[in-house]
Each structure stands twice: as structure tokens, then as C-alpha cells.
Amino acid sequence: MCLSPEEKIGTRETARTTGYEIMGLKIWLNDKLVDEKEATISVLDHGLLYGDGVFEGIRVYNGKIFELEAHIKRLYESARAIRLAVPMNRDQLIDAVKKTTEANNVVGGYIRLVVTRGIGTLGLNPFVCENSRVFVIADNIQLYPEEFYEKGMKVISASTVRNHPLALPPQVKSLNYLNNILAKIEALDNDVPESIMYNHEGYVAEATGDNVFIVKNGIIYTPPVEAGALEGITRAVVIRLAAQENLQVIERNLTRFDLYVCDEFFLTGTAAEVIGVVEIDGRVIGDGKPGPHTRLLRKKFYEYAHAKEK
């Protein structure tokens, strides 16, 4: 999807398309904004060495940060689950996110909020890390082509099994994304943008970066979090929007068979928003086009996300 003229305002996309000088980003690092070139992390940071940290990916629509409170809540819960102390309170963190967004004039774009364990030794012990680190990046975002939203996308089933929930709780949005990356490689090797991951019991968990929904006989189904799915912010919004339209949503374990024979299939996520799937593993979904529930929920999500503050 190409950025609209409004979304290009104040981002480096503006410079690329207008010829103006490209200005470096302003990055929030620990307790202040710094120039992009000064935003450095030590090679001894356990976030780099071991993927020890948590993050949030947050959208900006019309200059408004989307579901910021929900993202901050999930970040603190992820950090608490791995015994990572966030060195800022909620109000300070919200302020840092807002200031970073404003400093980069992001009207339509993406925020990456990261908390790392901090500088430690060449060993696994996290408690030798004296101070955790926070950084915030606000810039534009790479989105799926508009064609995917109009015609739907193809996916495959990944052979990479989703992390066991007792190994790493799926509710923790950690910096260690290798499990998802391996499944993403499978998708790209098969010339499709996404793959569906299954858990150790064979149930649907999630896509590599999105939550999974299907529609069968007018009822919407989505895997429960305990199946290995991240408790997505966009997922929660879509479930609320469906309820407002009197559409029934049921959290239930889904099998590969369920995906093969469903009437509709769509994914939700921060970058993807709501996007229809029209083929999986060579099996066509429905009539091969995004279905009515998918189109309705995409429309309602767009209206909700782009609504101007009163």
C-alpha cells in the first residue's frame, strides 16, 4: 500500500518524493530525545546479545497514537512476566512516546517502543545488568500493497512450530522473534507474504506477525491466546467492532482443516489492520475473494482508526 499524501507529511517519505533534504530522525533514548546518529546501544546489551527485552509496535493515524494506553499496559505486563524493570513509570513512558512522535512530525506512521535488559556480561544471568534501556522510534511504515486488500492474499502453513506456551508465554511480546522469522522465511521461499503457525498440538496459533480469524456459517472464530497467539491490540479492537455489528465471535482451537474449509479467512495486526486471505496451501477460500465479514470489519476498523478526536 502506498502512503497517502497525508501520511507522507513529516516523514522521510516526504524527502524522498519531494526532493527536500532528508533530516535524521529524533530518537528517544533512555531519558531524552537525541539525533539518530547518537541513538546507540552497547554491544553488551542483553537485548542484542540474547533478545532479552520487550517491545510494542504502535500505529499513528491522523497524528493520533492508536490505542496507546492498551499498548503501554501490554508492555508493562510483558516486562513483568520476564522480571524486567521498566525504568520509567506509565506517564513518563506515554510522554516519551508522544514527544518522539511530535518531534518527527509523524502524522500517519509507526512507533517502535523497546525496553532492553541493559548492559551485562557475556553470560545469561540477567541480574548482572544494572539498568534497563528504553528507546522509541517514530517513522513511516511499510504496509501491504493495496492490491492485497482488494483481492486478498495467499498464505501457506509453516512447518516451523510455534513456541510452546510453557517455554515462552505467547502474551509476552519479546525481542526474541526468531520463531516467527523462521516461519516468515518459509512464506517468502514460497512466494507468499505470510505463513500460518501451528502449536505443538497441531492447533492454529497465529501468522508470523498477525492474528488469525475465520468465518464459518456466519460465525467468526479466532484461536485463544493459550493456543500460542499474541493477545493482539488490533485483534481486540476487531472483536469489539464485530460485537457492535451483532456478529458473533468465538475463541476456539482451530485446526488446519478448519482453515481449509472456512467461508472467509482474515488476519489482523498493527501493520496489516484487517486483510483477507483467499488461499492457503493451494486451497481457495470461499469464492476466492475477501468475504462480506472481512470487508465490513476492514471498513469499520478504518473508520475507527481514522476517526478524528472530538
Question: Do 96 and 134 contact (CB within 8 A), yes or no?
Answer: yes
Q: Where are the alpha helices (DSSP H) in 104-218?
A: 146-151, 178-189
Question: Do 134 and 93 contact (CB within 8 A), yes or no?
Answer: yes
Q: Which three cell numbers stand for residue 42?
A: 552497547
Of the residues 173, 184, 308, 310, which is catalytic?
173
As a whole number of angstroms, the distance between CA 120 and CA 250 comes to 44
As a whole number of angstroms, the distance between CA 259 and CA 257 comes to 5
Catalytic-residue membership of 154? no
Which pairs count as long-range contacts for 159-165, CB under 8 Å and 24+ apart, including other chains?
Answer: 159/186, 160/186, 160/195, 160/197, 161/197, 161/198, 161/199, 161/200, 162/197, 162/198, 162/199, 162/200, 162/205, 162/206, 162/228, 163/228, 164/199, 164/200, 165/199, 165/226, 165/228
- Looking at the annotation, which residues are catalytic? 173
